[in-house]
Amino acid sequence: MEKLLEIKDVDKHFDISGSFLDQLRLKGGRISRQKTVVKAVNNVTLDVMAGETLAIVGESGCGKSTLARTVMGLYKPNKGEIFYRGNRIDNLSSKNMLPYRTKMQMVFQDPYASLNPRMMAREILEEPVKFHNPTLSRGEIKDRVAEVMLQVGVDPKWASNYPHEFSGGQRQRISIARALVLDPEFIAADEPIAALDVSIQAQILNLLMDAQDKRGLTYLFISHDLSVVEHIATRVAVMYLGCVCELATTKELFSNPQHPYTQALLSAIPRVGGKRGGHTRLTGDVPTPINLPTGCVFHGRCQHANERCTQEIPAQRALESGTVVACHAVEEKRI
């Protein structure tokens, strides 16, 4: 399989110190300047293979959206490199990034916030086509938009409606249409169904899977819903505090999770027809990415943590099964 996207050692940190004056602190009678940095994504290395659905899972604040936005070029990484079909894209000027802006698209959780409320559905879909294909005639643009609307299941007779006139599910169809209308290769979908009801979720997931089949799309699929991920993903990366702690095929991850955090996460999922009890319970809260713990980011909540875990950051290691896991205990064969 060909690598479509390579993410290498990427850090994305946000400096939230504010103005120079906000940064001043009085310590022991002396004024010092203090920076506050959110370490949202830390040393992430991942490949996305052409045609696959790579899911990113993890609890809120673990850096899923930041990673997706960094990949899309909406944020510049503080460290590391991103390659698309072998070409480095993280350091491109907006002009040089332009060709990738058609190949790479993003779908967001809240279709209402991501659609311009003052534009009709038709305009929302025509705008990117016009921008990237200035030579197309009006008729050609219209045809292309109508075709995509049909494909996502929005009747073209609603083309003159505004976003608020659609239901949540229909709005998400329109934002998917907006992503598809440029005929991309890659779509980063950030919690695309989280705001929808179950019966509508199924409609949108089917739509995404159909579009993938028809167009050979590659997805980076972000979700906190593990049963959805189990259904749709080829491989899964589990994130915790900005770090990837495990990367595995969907089958391996769900049947044979290695990292203690993955194990806890999986055992916490409620199952239809399941019974409570017998879960591995995590205690304590997720620390903030402002003061990252030393060593393994998970050590404060890990029942297998030892001295080494508090000091040394575990490196990603590939197991025989192909699963990549960052955990000392797994490496030492303690678990």
Partner 1 sequence: MEQLLYIRHLNVDFVLREKTLRAVRDVSLTINKGERLGIVGESGAGKSVLGFSIINLISKPGKITGGEVMFDGEDISKYSYDEMRKIRGNKISIIFQDPMMTLNPVLTIGTQMKETILAHMDVSAKEAEAICLEKLKKVYIPSPEKRLKQYPHEFSGGMRQRIIIAISLLTDPSLIIADEPTTALDVTIQAEIMDLLLELCETDNMGLILITHDLAVVSEVTQRIAVLYAGRVVEIGPTEQIIGNPQHPYTQGLLKALPEMADGENRLNQIPGMMPSLFNMPDGCPFEPRCKEKKEHCTQTVPGLIELENGAQVACFAREGGK
Positions that interact with ligand ADP (CB under 6 A): 14, 16, 38, 40, 58, 60-66, 289
Q: How far apart are CA 314 and CA 331, in angstroms?
A: 9
What distance in Å separates the CA atoms of residue 149 and residue 122, rounded to the nearest whole number? 9
Among 206, 303, 310, 311, binds partner 1 (CB under 8 A): 206
Our CB check for Mg ion shows the closer of 64 and 122 to be 64
Report which residue type is found at 23: Q
The answer to whether 269 and 253 have CB atoms below 8 angstroms apart is no
Whichever of 92 and 200 has its CB closer to partner 1, that residue is 200
- Smallest distance from the beta carbon of 232 to partner 1, in angstroms? 7
Alpha carbon 291 to its chain's center: 23
Interface residue with partner 1 among 2, 140, 147, 197 (CB under 8 A) is 197
Site for partner 1 in 240-299 (CB under 8 A): 264-265, 267-277, 279, 281-282, 285-286
Is there a contact between 49 and 3 (Cβ–Cβ < 8 Å)? yes
Angle, helix 138-152 to helix 198-215, in steps of 10 degrees = 130
User: Are 328 and 308 spatial neighbours (Cβ–Cβ below 8 Å)?
Assistant: yes
**What distance in Å separates the CA atoms of residue 68 and residue 194, rounded to the nearest whole number?**
16
Closest contact distance (angstroms) between CB of 32 and partner 1 is 26
> Residue 289 binds which entry of Mg ion, ligand ADP, ligand SF4, none, with Cβ cut-offs from 5 to 8 Å by kind?
ligand ADP
Near partner 1 by CB under 8 A: residue from 77, 163, 169, 184 = 169
Q: Report how far residue 105's alpha carbon sits from residue 188's, in angstroms, rounded to the nearest whole number.
A: 6
Candidates 226, 236, 245, 296: give the one binding partner 1 (CB under 8 A).
Answer: 226
Chain centre distance of CA 61: 12
Least CB distance to partner 1 at residue 66 (A):
17
What, of Mg ion, ligand ADP, ligand SF4, none, does residue 217 touch, CB below 5 to 8 Å by kind? none
In the numeric block, the tokens 């790479």 are attached to 104
Using the rule CB under 8 A, is 157 a contact of partner 1? no
Q: 71: buried, middle or exposed (CB in 10 Å: 19+, 13-18, 0-12)?
A: buried
Report the relative pairing of strands 243-249 and 24-27 from DSSP bridges. unpaired
Q: Residue 327: name its binding partner from Mg ion, ligand SF4, ligand ADP, none (Cβ under 5 to 8 Å by kind).
A: ligand SF4
- Residue span binding Mg ion (CB under 5 A) among the ranges 51-59, 60-68, 147-155, 309-317: 60-68
Q: Which of 65, 70, 170, 263 binds Mg ion (CB under 5 A)?
A: 65
Q: To the nearest whole angstrom, how small is the minimum distance from the Cβ of residue 289 to Mg ion? A: 13
Q: What angle, rounded to 10 degrees, do the helices at 94-103 and 121-132 form? A: 130
Which lies closer to ligand ADP via its Cβ, residue 14 or residue 142? 14
Shortest reach from residue 6's CB to partner 1, in Å:
28
Angle in degrees, CA 135, 136, 142, rounded to 5 = 160
327 HSE (CA, 13 A, CB side): 28
The rounded distance, in Å, linking the Cα atoms of 184 and 102 is: 6
Query: Given the rule CB under 6 A, which residues bind ligand SF4?
Result: 259-260, 296, 298-299, 302, 304-305, 309, 314, 327-329
Helix, coil or strand: residue 335: coil
Q: Looking at beta carbons only, is 218 or 263 nearer to ligand SF4?
A: 263
Please report, as ranges, the residues that interact with Mg ion according to CB under 5 A. 65
Q: Which residues bind partner 1 (CB under 8 A)?
A: 59-60, 167, 169, 197-203, 205-206, 209, 224, 226-228, 230-232, 264-265, 267-277, 279, 281-282, 285-286
